[in-house]
Amino acid sequence: MKAKIKEEYTPVRNACKLCSPLGASFVFKGVANTVPLLHGSQGCSTYIRRYLISHFNEPIDIASSNFTEETAIFGGGANLQLAIQNIIEQYKPELIGIASTCLSETIGDDVGLMLRDYKKNYTGEKQPEIVSVSTPSYSGTHIDGFHAAVRSIVDSLSVKGNKKAEHINIFPGMLSPADFRYLKEIFNDFKTDYVMLPDYSDTFDGPLWTEYQKIPEGGTAIKDIASMGQASASIEFGRILAEEESAGKLLKERFKIPCFSLGIPIGINETDLFFNTLKAITGKPAPEKYIKERSRLIDAYADGHKYIFQARAAIYGEEDLIVGLASFLSEIGIIPVLCASGGKSGNLEKKLGEVIPDLKNKEITILEGADFMEIGEAAKTLNLDFLLGNSKGYKLAREIKKPLIRVGFPIHDRLGGARIIHVGYRGAQQLFDTISNTIIALRQDESPVGYTYM
């Protein structure tokens, strides 16, 4: 085991993470009829819109309280109230999701107090729900902002009912719209009611419009979020998240709702755990179509094993995604010799040990709180076959002349980031075929013969 302890230095040269308000914006866009509002400078909302639009190729609005030099000195209360009023008049939302930025947090704006003053003085006919979350980027990553926003929404909107409902709460984390659609398909095939938060499967990947929509259709309904306090159980994805505060744990503490913390279901092992949990909660067997999906996947593993066995990969990105991908790579015989993240949970090595057999005896470099300069330095010494991660690693892949297989977020240099399925047997099948063919192509291109038959 080669675990590197990061030396402190300033500044980070090329971060392997994104900003916390971006993660919160993901969540707010996954709630029906909601407008995200960043309390800070206009540049923050512009940056986040740019990242989201480039990945999803969809029109995306992110409002801003639009700080100026004067606001930065005297506080942004007036700007925030004006921004809320403008959003109500122009969008007529059911919910406004407010995420703070580095600037508003640094000057000490008390958003909770500002909102109480606003609600006290509001004279309109119908006031939307307003949820705020503290997301200064210097205190975490986009994943921290994502989970903080989910927890704040549940904290503000979920209520206790007179009796337990039959539905299951599902907190899937920051997956793709295609992942969300697949998860919903699984619950529907189990004939089990569910509430998923967030759900941007339509808002970030919708059909062609005949006319512009200020707020795209789709997202988790507010009435359904309220009912989360009456669910029979909650499922949350993320082995790193399992060690931290979360919406599922809040519901368990407040309403005694059982919470099942699972890894992101990438590959057979983690997907089996998800399906077994569903069977235990519902008392229903897995539908036949998923048994067949699993069987076809095992057959594919057998077909491709001789081409990919002992290949060496570098994976990078969000910590929970890394753990899921590392589990998948290990079960197909690929060695994830580098696992790197900009996250700083302190739990990455521990959680990798839960999914990689005999981790301590394998030469795997684990980097937490890393940037791409550090990742690049490590990657150049590890004799890699390919990299697995988002588009931000392309320059490194180009430099070391190794293929990059794009997963996660952001994917800015290819189409279809919203349509990548990472989870379940179906997602593992797609990832397995892509990885296998990438390695086969690499060997073919390196061959002096130029063979055309495997």
Residue with tokens 């060496």: 312
d(CA 80, CA 115): 9
Q: What is the CATH number of domain 20-157?
A: 3.40.50.1980
CATH entry 3.30.499.10 includes domain 168-282: no
d(CA 48, CA 62): 8
Domain boundaries along the sequence of the chain: 20-157, 168-282, 288-446
Strand partners, 82: none
Q: What is the CATH number of domain 288-446?
A: 3.40.50.1980
For 244, other C-beta atoms within 10 Å of its C-beta total 14
d(CA 300, CA 238): 26
d(CA 317, CA 388): 9
Side-chain-facing half-sphere of 304: CA atoms under 13 Å: 25
Residue 121 burial by Cβ neighbours in a 10 Å radius (0-12, 13-18, 19+): exposed
Q: Which of 147, 164, 179 is nearest to 274 (CA)?
A: 179
pLDDT tens digits in sequence order for the chain, 454 residues long: 555 555 555 566 789 999 999 999 999 999 999 999 999 998 899 999 999 999 999 999 999 998 888 877 778 888 999 999 999 999 999 999 999 999 898 888 889 889 988 888 776 677 899 999 999 988 899 999 999 999 999 999 999 877 777 899 999 999 999 999 999 999 999 999 999 999 999 999 999 999 889 999 999 999 999 999 999 999 999 999 999 999 999 999 999 999 999 999 999 999 999 999 999 999 999 999 999 999 999 999 999 999 999 999 999 999 999 999 999 999 999 999 999 999 999 999 999 999 998 898 888 999 999 999 999 999 999 999 999 999 999 999 999 999 999 999 999 999 999 999 999 999 999 999 999 999 999 999 988 888 888 7
Please name the helix (run of DSSP H) or strand (run of DSSP E) that holds residue 334, with its range, or none. none
Q: Would you say 135 and 145 are in contact if contact means Cβ atoms under 8 Å apart?
A: yes
CA distances from 317 to 80, 122, 141, 270, 382 (A): 33, 43, 11, 19, 18
Would 168-282 and 288-446 be classified into the same CATH topology? yes
CA angle 296, 454, 400 (to 5 degrees): 95
pLDDT of residue 48: 94
DSSP assigned state of 221: -
Tokens at 103, concatenated: 């600037």
> How far from the centroid of its chain's Cα atoms is residue 441's Cα?
30
Q: Would you say 428 and 66 are in contact if contact means Cβ atoms under 8 Å apart?
A: no
For 240, other C-beta atoms within 10 Å of its C-beta total 26
pLDDT of residue 117: 86
- Which residues have CB under 8 Å from 384's CB, separation 6+? 312, 313, 314, 337, 338, 400, 402
DSSP assigned state of 9: -
SS3 197: coil
Alpha helices in 232-282 (DSSP H): 247-255, 267-282
Strands across the sheet containing 63-64: 63-64, 34-39, 95-100, 129-133
- Give this prediction's pTM: 0.94
Q: Would you say 159 and 223 are in contact if contact means Cβ atoms under 8 Å apart?
A: no
pLDDT of residue 408: 97
Q: Would you say 233 and 262 are in contact if contact means Cβ atoms under 8 Å apart?
A: no
Q: What is the DSSP string of 98-152?
A: EEE-HHHHHTT--HHHHHHHHHHH--SS-PPEEEEE---GGG--HHHHHHHHHHH
d(CA 10, CA 234): 41
